[in-house]
Structure 1
Amino acid sequence: MILRSVVGKLWLTIIILVSVVLIALSLFLNEQVDNTYTRTHKESLERLAKEIRSKSADLNHVQEVSKIFDTYMIVMNSQGKIDTSKSKPDSLPVAEEVIQLVDTSKVSENDVYIQTGKVEAKHGDIMLAAVPYHLTNDQVTLIFYQPLNESIEEDLKMWILYSALIGIALTTIFAFFLSTRISQPLIQMKKAAEKMAKGDFTARVHVREHEKDEIADLSLTFNRMAGQLDDLVNMLSHEKEQLTSILRSMTDGVITLNAKGKVIMTNPPADRLLAIFREPGELSLKATLPPPLKDFFDTVVKEEKEHFGDITEQGRTWAVVMAPLYARGQLRGAVAVFRDVTEERRLDKMRKDFVANVSHELRTPLAMLQGYSEALIDDIAQSPEEVKEIAQVINEESMRMGRLVRELLDLARMEAGHIQVQLSDLDVSMFVQRVVRKFQNLARDRDVEVIGEVAEDLPFVRWDEDKIEQVLTNLVDNAIRHTPQGGKVTVRAFWNEKNMFIEVEDTGTGIPEEDLPFVFERFYKADKARTRGQSGGTGLGLSIVKHLVTAHQGNATVRSQIGKGTVFSIQLPVEVPEDAELKL
C-alpha cells in the first residue's frame, strides 16, 4: 500500500534515482582507478627507463635508483640471456618468466618498450619497461618491472562500493524523511478535503510559522479556499433557509420543475395540490406531474414563454402561471405559481348572479307597473272595479319591489358589518308563540297549519329580539310559501346546558340534496323557477337568516328530503357575549 501513496512513490523515486547515480559513479570510479593505477605504474617505469637511458651510470647506481622507485631490475645480455651477476638478486626468481614477456625486436633506442603480463611466481601481474643500455665494452637490455598490487586496487574499489551502499542507505533514510516531510501537509489537506466532502467546511491545514515554502503556500491557499467555501456555504444555506421560509409562508403554491418535467421543489400549498392528484397507494407527492400541469409544462417548453390559465379538480379552481427557467441560455426547467381562486370565482359568479337576479326581480314588477299604469292612462279599464283591480296590482308590485330593495339594503349592511347586536333578556316560549300567532292569518289563507312546540322550563336568553324575530319570520314565511294546501309548519324550541335550538319544519316539496349546500346563498332558488307563483320570493331571506344567526355566534343548518319536507335548525348560545357583532 505504501507504493500507492505519495510518500512511497516519492521515496522510491529518490532511492532509484540516487542508486542509479551512485552505481554509475562507482563504475566510473572503478574504471578510473584501473586506468589511474595502470597509468601511474606506466609513467613511473617509463620515466625511470628514460632517466637511466639518458645518463650513463654504473649498474650499481642504476640498481639503487630503481630500488628507490620500488622497481625490480633484470639485465639481459645481447644473446637474450639473463646476466645474473648484474641483476638484482630479488628479481632472479621470476627473471625467466619476465624476459619471456619482452619482444626484443621492439626494444629500440628511441622508445621505451612497455608491457604488462602475468608471472606464475609470487608477484602475479607485473608491468615491465625495457630499454637498451650501453656499457663500456658491451650493450645490454635493462628490464625494469613492478608488480601490480591488485589488493590495494581491490580495496579501493571495495571502499568505493561501500561508500555507494552507505550513500544509498543514507539516501533511503533521507528520502523517507523528506517524503514524509513533504507529504505530511498533503495528507492533512486530504483529510481536510474529506471532511469538507462530508459537509464540514471548518477543517483547516496546520501550517508552521517558520515554513515558507511552496507546500506552506499551498496549505495557506487551501485554508483560504476552505474559509471562502465555508462563508459561501453559510451564505447559501442562509439564503436557502430564507427562500424556504418565504416559500413555506406563501399562500400561493410554488412548484419547480426540471427540464424533463419532474418536480424538484415544492412548498406546502403545492404539496396539497399534488396530493389531490396522487394516485391511490402512491407514497411520494412528487412522483409524477399531474396531467393539467403537464399540459402547461409542455406548452411552456415548446413556446419558451410564460403561460397561464385555470385548472379545476374536485370542485376547486386554481389560477396557474408557469414560466420557463434558463441556465446559461439553456432551458433548464420551469416554475409554476398557482393560487386557489375557488372563492374568488365563486364570488365572481355570485356577483354576476346577483346582477342577473336583481335585474330579473326588478324587471318583473317594473314591467307590470309600467303596463298597468299605461292601462290606466289609456282608459282601458271600463269600470271602477277594473280600475281598483289594476291599482291593487300596482300596489302589490310596488310593495314587492320595496321589500326587495329593503332586503338588499339590509343584506349589504350585514355583509359590511355595520349592524350591531342589541342584546336583551328574552322569554323564548312567549317569543315563539308570538311568531306563530303572527302567521296564523297567512297560513289560514293558504290552508296551511302553523303550530308551535316549546319544551318546558326554557330559560331566559340574551338575544337581539328584533333580529331573531326577523330570522323566524323569514323561515316561517318561506316554509308556508313552500308548503302545499293541507300541509303543516311546526316551530319547535328546546335546549341543552349551553345552546338553544329552534327548528322550523314543513311538509312541503323538499329541497334536492345537491342544492342543500347553497340554500343560504343570495338569490339561490332550489326550484330554479323565476316566476311570481305561489312560492315566489326575493331569494334573499335565507341569506339574511345566515348572517343574523352568525352575528349571534350561532349556526344555521338545513336537512330535507324530496316529497317529505324540510327542517331549518337554528342553534344559538343561551347567552350571547356583550361584544358580539356581525362579522363575515
Structure 2
Amino acid sequence: MTRFRIKLTLTILGLISLVLLLMGTYFAKVLENSYLQSLQELLSRESRLIAQAIHFPDVFTDKATLEKRVLQVAPTDEVRLTVIDKDGVVLYDNTSHRAELENHHDRPEFLAALSGETGISRRFSETLGHDMMYVAVPIVHGTEIVGAVRSAMSMKDITDTVRGMWYSLLTGLLVTLVIGSIVVSRISFSIIRPIEEITRVARNITQRQYESRVRIKAKDEIGQLAGAINFMASSLEQQMYEISENQQRLSGVLTNMTSGVIFISEQRRIMLVNPAVEKLLGTPGHEIVGKLHIEAGKSFGLSQYIDRCLDKGEKFREEVHIYYPEERILDVNFAPYINFKGEARGVVVVLHDITEIRRLEKMRSDFVANVSHELRTPITSIKGFTETLLEGAMQDEETCRNFLQIISDESERLYRMIRDILDLSKIEQKRIPLHMSQVNVQELIASAAAVIHDQAQRKELSMALPTGEPDIWLMTDKDCLQQIMLNLLSNAVAYTPEGGEITINAKREGRNLKLQVIDTGIGIPEKDIPRIFERFYRVDKARSRDSGGTGLGLAIVKHLVENLHGQISVESKEGKGTTFTVTLPML
C-alpha cells in the first residue's frame, strides 16, 4: 500500500505542477504579448507622427531641416528613429552616424512600408548588440511613397521582465511542490489509511482470523465500505463457527461409530474413512484416502457393489465377506450421495461387522443341537430301560435292579445337566448376587481338593497343593471361587489318565492373585483351544460323556471369573497336559 500512497502523492503533485506550469506559460505569453503589443503601438504612433512631420518635399529633401524637424517632434533618444528614402539609403538616424549605416533596402519592415503597409519586425541588432523591435511606416507625398520612417526600441526590458517572471514562476512552483508534498502526503495518508486498514482485515480474513475488524468511524463511502467489511467478517466468523461445530460433531460421530463409513467420489476414489474402517480393512486411513476403491478395499465383492451403486444410483443392502486382514462378515449399506443440485456425486458405504453375530447364531444353533443331543441320550436310555422293564424284565430281580440303577444314573445326569444350564443362564444374566468376604485362598483350595479326593484316588492321581506361600487372603465371593476351583479340578481329574499328576499353584503378582491348575492329561489340540469355553463343547466327547460331564463346566468357570472381574487363560499341548490360569484382582 506504500507504493500506492507514493503513486497517489506523485500523481497529485504532477497534476499541480502541470497546472502551474501551463498557467505560468499562458500568463507569461499573455504578458509578453501585451508588452509587445504596447511597444508596437507606441512605435507605430511615433513613426506615423514623424512621417506626418517630414512628408513635405522641402523638409524630406533637406537633411538639416529633416534632422531639425525630427528633433522637434521627438527630442529624446529613448526610441531609435531612422528616416530612409525609397532606395534604402538612411537619411537620418538618432543613434548612429548615417554614413556608418548600410543600405536598408532589404529590411523586411522597410519593404512592407514601401508597399504601403506598416512593417513590423523583431531581430537582433548588430549595431546595438541586442534584440530590437522595428516598426516602419511609409512617407507619402501626394500619392507617391517617397520613403519610410522606422522607429525601434530595445526588447531587453521585456526579455528581462519575462525572464524574471519565469524565475518567479519556477520559485513559486518549487515552493508549491514542497508545501504541496506535505499537504498531499497528509491527504493521501488520510485516503490510503482506511484502505490499508480494510486490506489488512481482508488479508486476516483470508488467513481465517475472522475476529479482525476495521476500526474506522467515517460516515463517507469509505466508512460504508468498512462497515460492510466488518459485517462480512462477523457473518463469516459466525458461519465458520457453525461449520467448525458441525465438522466437530460429524468427526465425533464418525470417530466413535462402531460401524465403518466410506465415502467414494464419482471418480471411484476413496475420499473419507472413519477409524472403524481402518480397523476393518487393517490399513491406516491416510494410506487409502485418495486411492481407487478396488485398490484400497482389497475385496472384489465390495468393489463390485460400489461400482453398481455408482452406475445405477440405487440404494441397496448386501452381505459381504472379506478375507483381509482377517475373515469377516459385513452387513453393508450402499447409498448414492446426492448434491444440492440433485446430482449423484459419489457413494456412501456403511459397513456393520456382523461376524460376531453370525458366530453367536452358529453357537446358538450348535447349542440347540448339543442340548437336543445331550438330552436325547439320557432320555433314550431311560425310555429304553423302562420299556424293557415293562415288557417283563421286572421278573428278574437282578436285571431289574441293574436297569433301575441305570435309569437312576441317567436321571441324575439329566438333572445335573439341567441344573448346570440354569446356573449358567443365571451367571450370564448376573442374577447370582455376589457376597464378598475375606477368603483364605489356601484353605479354599484344600477344601475343593478334598471334595474330589476320592475321584482322584480311584484313578491313582497325585495332587500337589500350594506350599511355601504365606496365607493369602482375598476379598471375593467364596462360593463362586470354590465352584471355579471344583470345576477346574474335576475337569483335570476327568481328562488325566491313571497315574497322572495335578498341581495347584496360588501366588501374588502385584495387585493380582494368580491361580493355576496344571495336569498331565491328554491335552487339548491347538485348533480346539479357542472353543473350549463354549457350551457343550468337548475335545474328547466319548471320554467326557463316560466321565459324566455335561460340557458346561468350563463355560460356567469363564462366566464366574468374569463376574469376579478376573481373566482366565489356557495353555496346552496335546498328550502333555493342560494349564488353566485364573487371574483375580486383590481388592
User: Letter of the aligned partner of 2:162 in structure 1?
Assistant: L
Report the 3-state secondary structure (helix = DSSP H, G, I; strand = E; otherwise coil) of the residue aligned with 2:297: helix
Post-superposition CA distance 1:100-139 (Å, at most 9, x none): 636579646xx5432325443327423223134459xx98
Whole-angstrom CA distance in 2 between matches of 1:347 and 1:314: 21
Partner of 1:580: none
Q: Does 1:127 align with 2:125?
A: no
Partner of 1:282: none
Per-residue deviation, 1:410: 1.4
Question: Could you tell which deviates more after superposition, 450-459 or 9-18?
Answer: 450-459
Whole-angstrom CA distance in 1 between matches of 2:269 and 2:168: 74
Q: Does 1:564 align with 2:568?
A: no
Per-residue deviation, 1:418: 1.2
1:303 pairs with 301, 309, 322, which one? Answer: 309
Whole-angstrom CA distance in 2 between matches of 1:132 and 1:298: 122
Distance 1:67 1:349, change over 3 A: farther
2:550 pairs with 523, 529, 538, which one? Answer: 538
Partner of 2:287: 287
CA RMSD of aligned residues (A): 5.3
Instruction: Kindly report which structure 2 residues correspond to 1:509-528, keeping only aligned pairs within 5 A, or say none.
Output: 509-527=522-540
In 2, are the aligned partners of 1:317 and 1:342 still within 8 Å (CA)?
A: yes
How high is the TM-score relative to the length of structure 1? 0.71
Runs of 5+ unmatched residues, structure 1: 279-284, 578-584
Partner of 1:185: 194
Report the 3-state secondary structure (helix = DSSP H, G, I; strand = E; otherwise coil) of the residue aligned with 1:407: helix
1:354 pairs with 367, 375, 379, which one? Answer: 367
Distance 1:159 1:259, change over 3 A: farther
Per-residue deviation, 1:407: 1.7
Question: Could you tell which deviates more after superposition, 545-554 or 316-325?
Answer: 316-325
Report the 3-state secondary structure (helix = DSSP H, G, I; strand = E; otherwise coil) of the residue aligned with 1:352: helix
Per-residue deviation, 1:511: 0.9
Whole-angstrom CA distance in 1 between matches of 2:445 and 2:13: 114
Q: Does 1:405 align with 2:418?
A: yes
In 2, are the aligned partners of 1:75 and 1:143 still within 8 Å (CA)?
A: yes
Whole-angstrom CA distance in 1 between matches of 2:530 and 2:236: 59
Post-superposition CA distance 1:218-242 (Å, at most 9, x none): 4444444444444444444444445
Per-residue deviation, 1:352: 2.8
Instruction: Kindly report which structure 2 residues correspond to 1:429-508, keeping only aligned pairs within 5 A, or say none.
Output: 431-432=447-448, 434-437=450-453, 439=455, 444=458, 448-454=459-465, 470-484=483-497, 486-488=498-500, 490=502, 492=504, 505-508=518-521
Partner of 1:581: none
Instruction: Kindly report which structure 2 residues correspond to 1:87-102, keeping only aligned pairs within 5 A, or say none.
Output: 89=94, 101=107
Per-residue deviation, 1:415: 0.9
Per-residue deviation, 1:543: 1.1
Post-superposition CA distance 1:358-412 (Å, at most 9, x none): 23323444555666667778x5979757777766665554444443222211111
Per-residue deviation, 1:495: 6.1
In 2, are the aligned partners of 1:41 and 1:127 still within 8 Å (CA)?
A: no
In 2, are the aligned partners of 1:556 and 1:569 still within 8 Å (CA)?
A: yes
Distance 1:45 1:536, change over 3 A: farther
Q: Does 1:147 align with 2:153?
A: yes
Instruction: Kindly report which structure 2 residues correspond to 1:37-186, keeping only aligned pairs within 5 A, or say none.
Output: 37-45=35-43, 73-75=81-83, 89=94, 101=107, 103=110, 107=114, 112-116=117-121, 118=123, 119-122=125-128, 124-134=131-141, 141=147, 143-147=149-153, 149-153=155-159, 155-156=161-162, 159-160=165-166, 163=169, 166-167=172-173, 170-171=176-177, 174=180, 177=185, 178-186=187-195
Whole-angstrom CA distance in 1 between matches of 2:352 and 2:72: 127
In 2, are the aligned partners of 1:557 and 1:568 still within 8 Å (CA)?
A: yes
Partner of 1:6: 4
Whole-angstrom CA distance in 2 between matches of 1:168 and 1:348: 101
1:547 pairs with 535, 553, 559, which one? Answer: 559
In 2, are the aligned partners of 1:511 and 1:566 still within 8 Å (CA)?
A: yes
Whole-angstrom CA distance in 1 between matches of 2:325 and 2:5: 69
In 2, are the aligned partners of 1:26 and 1:161 still within 8 Å (CA)?
A: no
Post-superposition CA distance 1:252-272 (Å, at most 9, x none): 566667777777766665666
Report the 3-state secondary structure (helix = DSSP H, G, I; strand = E; otherwise coil) of the residue aligned with 1:287: helix
Percent identical residues = 29
Per-residue deviation, 1:522: 1.6
Whole-angstrom CA distance in 2 between matches of 1:415 and 1:459: 28
Per-residue deviation, 1:44: 4.8
Instruction: Kindly report which structure 2 residues correspond to 1:291-370, keeping only aligned pairs within 5 A, or say none.
Output: 293=297, 295=299, 296=302, 300=306, 303-304=309-310, 309=320, 311=322, 313=324, 317=328, 319=330, 343-366=356-379
Post-superposition CA distance 1:42-97 (Å, at most 9, x none): 4555567778989999999997777899755555568876665xxx8458769866
Distance 1:81 1:429, change over 3 A: closer
Whole-angstrom CA distance in 1 between matches of 2:70 and 2:417: 163
Report the 3-state secondary structure (helix = DSSP H, G, I; strand = E; otherwise coil) of the residue aligned with 2:546: coil
In 1, are the aligned partners of 2:55 and 2:140 still within 8 Å (CA)?
A: no
User: Letter of the aligned partner of 1:153 in structure 2?
Assistant: T
User: Letter of the aligned partner of 1:183 in structure 2?
Assistant: I
Whole-angstrom CA distance in 2 between matches of 1:270 and 1:220: 48
Count matched residues.
550
In 2, are the aligned partners of 1:126 and 1:147 still within 8 Å (CA)?
A: yes
Whole-angstrom CA distance in 2 between matches of 1:182 and 1:97: 71
Report the 3-state secondary structure (helix = DSSP H, G, I; strand = E; otherwise coil) of the residue aligned with 2:533: coil
Per-residue deviation, 1:34: 5.8
In 2, are the aligned partners of 1:436 and 1:450 still within 8 Å (CA)?
A: no
Report the 3-state secondary structure (helix = DSSP H, G, I; strand = E; otherwise coil) of the residue aligned with 2:133: strand
Question: Could you tell which deviates more after superposition, 63-72 or 181-190?
Answer: 63-72
User: Letter of the aligned partner of 1:418 in structure 2?
Assistant: R
